[in-house]
A and B are shown apart, each in its own frame.
Chain A
């Protein structure tokens, strides 16, 4: 079992609100990636952080933002929530972010937007 944890497990918000999801990576992992997984779909890449800086982004609007901290924790922030933001949000941590780097996934946070 990996050391990647996420909180909270479940979350219910209303449209227009803001949400912060948290991830704790394994010690020594310099990269963290965030994914959105809608029902029946594969994970969709949101962005990756490496040593506290964003170094890659998928097709998500700016209202999706993130932070990575020196203590191997990170956050995903979503502003102005929309109904379509309802999904499972996964974080994955890894080493140096190379193409062969192994990603270790957390259990996810289930977000429901009403």
Chain B
């Protein structure tokens, strides 16, 4: 079954601390993995995708096919990073995106 699991509903860290939002997936083929972010009172937007292998707003995510994980990391959290983060998987055909339940990140001053 195709599934995306985000084990933490809430993650609270202090400003300047490292942050890691966990994501594990289950998929039989070669999916495309994404992280989406939703800031307060804003719409859901793409943060980054594994195929781009880029850093956005200081965040990076590495696809680990052996562990079927796609954890999101940032070495030094900022208060403006506080938001809801969703890990998502898109099937090879490109017509279906499966989202995890989301992790709310709260960065304390």
Question: Interface residues, chain A, CB within 8 Å of chain B?
Answer: 2, 33, 35, 40-45, 48, 50, 55-56, 58, 90, 92, 97-108
7 tightest Cβ-Cβ pairs between the two chains A and B: A56-B95, A42-B99, A99-B94, A105-B44, A99-B32, A98-B94, A48-B95
Bound Cα distance from A98 to B90, whole angstroms: 9
Contacts between chains A and B (CB distance < 8 A), count? 59
Segment among B14-22, B45-53, B57-65 that sits at the interface with chain A: B45-53
CB < 8 Å neighbour of A99 from B6, B44, B91, B98: B91
A106 to B45, CA, bound (A): 9
- Jot down 20 A-B pairs with beta carbons below 8 A, ordered by A: A33-B95, A41-B101, A41-B102, A42-B4, A42-B101, A43-B86, A43-B99, A44-B99, A45-B96, A45-B97, A45-B98, A56-B95, A92-B44, A97-B95, A99-B90, A99-B94, A100-B49, A100-B94, A105-B43, A106-B43
Contacts of B32 in A (CB 8 A): 99-100
Contact present for B96 and A42 (CB under 8 Å)? no
Residues of B within 8 A of A (CB): 4, 6, 31-32, 43-46, 49, 51, 86, 88, 90-102
A31 and B88 alpha carbons, distance in the complex (Å): 18
Question: Which residues of chain A come closer than 8 Å to B31, judged between CB atoms?
Answer: 99
| Structural contact, B43 and A97, CB atoms closer than 8 A | no
